[in-house]
Chain A
Amino acid sequence: MTRHLLSIDDVSAAEIHELFETAAEMHDVQRREVKKLPALRGRTVINLFFEDSTRTRSSFEIAGKWLSADVINLSAKGSSTSKGESLRDTVLTVTAMGIDGLVMRHSASGAAHQVAQWLDIPVINAGDGMHEHPTQALLDGYTLTRRLGTLEGKHVAIVGDLTHSRVFRSNIKSLAKLGARVTVVAPPTLMPSGVGDWSNEAGFATCYDLDAVLPEVDAVMMLRVQKERMSGGYFPTAREYTVGYGLTRPRLALLKPGTPILHPGPMNRGLEIAADAADAADSLILDQVSAGVAVRMAVLYHLLAGEEALA
């Protein structure tokens, strides 16, 4: 495995399976009375978040703590960034305190790559703009693998706001490495520009008709409509979006029985996903959250525990 986890490109298919194997062991720790492993004792990890996050940040924090690392959370809102400090100065300052690993989220695509070039400690990308969110894709793949046994030859639909989605961009890569077939569904305005060439190259299918795709798939992954990244005009009304692309109660009936439903959260209930779908027996949304801790433990362990981690 490479030194950093900035993109799914950094891990091979074999390494993903190895991470899943480790994550499965970590998953058992969640059910223990003593939720603690000593693997990262004496290591310090900083969660540097320039963008809001609840689950990813707390998930990384719990993951680090269960591995006995010291975890520090720094959100840009309360930091010197709001006083005008540059990104470079901020990361150099916090790493100068002697930390061993940096988990970073930033609204600029490529921010984690840039930071990784400035630092000689492992950097984990916890989401950079509209680019990648590798640990989310890994936990989605892990959750699906646990449910379906294998993703080899399985058909997965990714539905929703593709243009703004780093979850989608990372999942396209990881699902391909896991052997799954992917069809992406979105309204034309939320389909990334140039998707034609890209889908040919990366080997996924595109479709604008959700009702035609749902009966065909083995799993459906709904994406959040990212209002905060929209400057407006992507769809006329929320109601219209729901009618065309929301996973509504009538659409649940189109799925094969037992088809798992995923959503990376946070959900806009009633917009891209109806409560009936989110709370359905086949919804894996809470499994994704619990898998998130296990997968992030596996990532932290592989990047920080061994000798390669020593600079």
Chain B
Amino acid sequence: MSEPTAEPDPGLSAGPDQGRVVLDADDIARALTRISHEILERNKGAEDLILLGLQTRGVPLAKRIAEKISEVEGAAIATGSLDVTMYRDDLRSHPTRTPHRTALPPHGIDGKTVVLVDDVLYSGRTIRAALDALSDLGRPAAVRLAVLVDRGHRELPIRADHVGKNLPTARAERVRLRLVETDGLDEVRITDTSMGEAR
């Protein structure tokens, strides 16, 4: 097992191995497989489908789902990444952050079905920002949302179309997802923390 490669999350006050594991690698793999099938079923095939991962951990998740779908369909699925830093409504209450990469498939998103992929759905503000960003990038035929974990506590009228796991949480709890691509292992943990956190 390799060491975590990504930069440590600055909001993480507790150590990375504190709290309890709610999804392990197998659970995550099963959840992603189910989401992949749901997306295919909902879209009636893989035609005109784009999986757009939200930076940062939505990006590897989108790639994994795309791989699973192409295993079933036998054709490559277009993926991309979307960074919503510039569109966040809390941009002014944080120190300026360097935006991550936004990369669209070569033919853009016009007329396509875009599935936004994110790790944890919480307040819904990231998704609102993503919808704003999408409207500056083109006009998709439809936009759907797939998340690995829905932890509740929505602050906006936003819901996911495909959910890997509904995880009832308290606001004081922290949901932390780690992925092989960014952190060296696959797991979702819940940590109890008296400090509030952003996600």
Q: How far is the CA of A172 from the CA of B83 in the complex (A)?
A: 34
Is A302 touching B96 in the complex (CB atoms < 8 A)? yes
Q: For B136, what are the chain A residues with a Cβ–Cβ distance below 8 Å?
A: 32, 34, 36-37
One of B98-106, B117-125, B162-170 contacting the partner: B98-106
Q: For B138, what are the chain A residues with a Cβ–Cβ distance below 8 Å?
A: 33
Q: For B100, what are the chain A residues with a Cβ–Cβ distance below 8 Å?
A: 25
Q: Is the interface of B mostly helix, strand, loop or mixed?
A: loop
Q: How far is the CB of A61 from chain B (nearest CB, A)?
A: 19
Q: How far is the CA of A21 from the CA of B96 in the complex (A)?
A: 13
Q: For A201, what are the chain B residues with a Cβ–Cβ distance below 8 Å?
A: none
Q: For A149, what are the chain B residues with a Cβ–Cβ distance below 8 Å?
A: none
Among A33, A39, A301, A307, point to the contact of B95 (Cβ < 8 A): A307
Q: For A18, what are the chain B residues with a Cβ–Cβ distance below 8 Å?
A: 98
> Could you mark each residue 1-38 of chain A with 1 if its beta carbon is under 8 Å from any beta carbon of chain B, else 0?
10000000000000000100110010010001110111
Q: For A308, what are the chain B residues with a Cβ–Cβ distance below 8 Å?
A: 95-96
Q: How far is the CB of A139 from chain B (nearest CB, A)?
A: 18
Give the size range of A's interface with the partner: 20 to 34
A310 at the interface (CB under 8 A from B): yes
Is A38 touching B132 in the complex (CB atoms < 8 A)? yes
Is B96 touching A28 in the complex (CB atoms < 8 A)? no
> Could you mark each residue 82-96 of chain B with 1 if its beta carbon is under 8 Å from any beta carbon of chain A, else 0?
010011000111111
Among B91, B94, B102, point to the contact of A28 (Cβ < 8 A): B102
Q: For A307, what are the chain B residues with a Cβ–Cβ distance below 8 Å?
A: 92-95
Q: How far is the CB of B25 from chain A (nearest CB, A)?
A: 32
A62 at the interface (CB under 8 A from B): no
Q: How far is the CB of B102 from chain A (nearest CB, A)?
A: 7
Is A306 touching B98 in the complex (CB atoms < 8 A)? no
Among A32, A37, A310, point to the contact of B92 (Cβ < 8 A): A310
Closest chain A residue to B136 by CB distance? Answer: A34
Q: Which of B91, B100, B101 has the most CB of A within 10 A?
A: B91
> Could you mark each residue 275-311 of chain A with 1 if its beta carbon is under 8 Å from any beta carbon of chain B, else 0?
0000000000000000000000000011101111110
B97 at the interface (CB under 8 A from A): yes
Q: For B94, what are the chain A residues with a Cβ–Cβ distance below 8 Å?
A: 306-307
Closest chain B residue to A301 by CB distance? Answer: B96
Q: How far is the CA of A21 from the CA of B95 in the complex (A)?
A: 17
A interface vs B, CB < 8 Å? 1, 18, 21-22, 25, 28, 32-34, 36-39, 301-303, 305-310
Given A21-B98, A25-B99, A37-B86, 13 new contacts (CB under 8 A):
A21-B99, A25-B83, A34-B136, A34-B137, A37-B87, A38-B87, A301-B86, A302-B96, A306-B96, A307-B92, A308-B95, A308-B96, A309-B96
